[in-house]
Amino acid sequence: MSMKERIDSVLERVRNAAARVGRDPSEIKLVAVTKRFPPGVVEEAVGHGLRVFGENYVQEAVSKIEALRERGYGLEWHFIGHLQKNKARKAVEYFDWIETVDSMALMKRLMRVAREVQKETDVLIQVNISEDPGKAGLMPNEVLPFFRELMAMDAGPVRIQGLMTITRFVASPREAREWFKDLRLLRDHVVEQLGGSIALPHLSMGMSNDFEVAIEEGATIVRVGQALFGPRPTPKTRGELNV
């Protein structure tokens, strides 16, 4: 299949999943995950109409973003990897969204650097909804206390848009459905408990193998790599593979 055919197929599946639950497909953002793919792949995807891209590693992303910036495509970049505090400034400078805020210390750092560089930054709080010991993110019972603490702070140019999750790997997307639903219900609970003082409109959940189920359960952002671009190139060194 060509890239164009893959993209068309994913977009159609997004539309169909939305239609099954009576949602408007235009409220679902497709983040094309280009980690380990060269800038040429991003450029080809831009040629087929994609504008929103996701990357896991700050350094790798910076070179791609710079390579494409001069073209003036007006791309939107989402950081979806584990963010170390010492990379927060670079992440704010280069990315429009940071989807993986997984601690108060990182949140505070992002607020500080966003204020310093005066950059509006959309963020999501990462939740380890399937309580996978190998994954980052707040545990579900930590989320409400986290938001209560946040509410007392001045976020400056940081806009807290909602929740994000990476679920445990399961063979069948049907098994992931409960987790996606749990994330939505957790979001609803937090918003209600905070008396509607924050909206949290976004839920980033679902990848190549389960984005349709995620959409049926309320995802507004899906992060899709291999279904759009085929198998990802394997990393050159072991050290690179710290996803």
Ligand X SMILES: *Cc1c(COP(=O)(O)O)cnc(C)c1O
Q: Does 241 bind ligand X (CB under 6 A)?
A: no
Q: What does the alpha-carbon distance between residue 121 and residue 10 come to, in Å, rounded to a whole number?
A: 27
Binding letters toward ligand X, positions 43-82, x by CB under 6 A: -------------x-----------------------x--
Q: Which of 105, 185, 241, 243 binds ligand X (CB under 6 A)?
A: 243
224 near ligand X, judged by CB under 6 A:
yes
The rounded distance, in Å, linking the Cα atoms of 208 and 225 is 6
DSSP lists the bridge partners of residue 29 as 221
Among 10, 30, 33, 111, binds ligand X (CB under 6 A): 33
Residue 225 touches ligand X, criterion: CB under 6 A:
yes
Among 4-12, 87-95, 135-143, 224-232, the segment contacting ligand X (CB under 6 A)? 224-232
Q: How far apart are CA 160 and CA 100, in angstroms?
A: 11
Per CB under 6 A, the list member of 35, 78, 184, 202 interacting with ligand X is 35
Say how far apart CA 60 and CA 35 lie, in whole Å: 8
Pick the closer one to ligand X by CB: 131 or 149: 131
Distance CA 76, CA 200 (A): 20
Judged by the rule CB under 6 A, the positions of this chain that interact with ligand X are: 33, 35, 56, 80, 166, 207-208, 223-227, 243
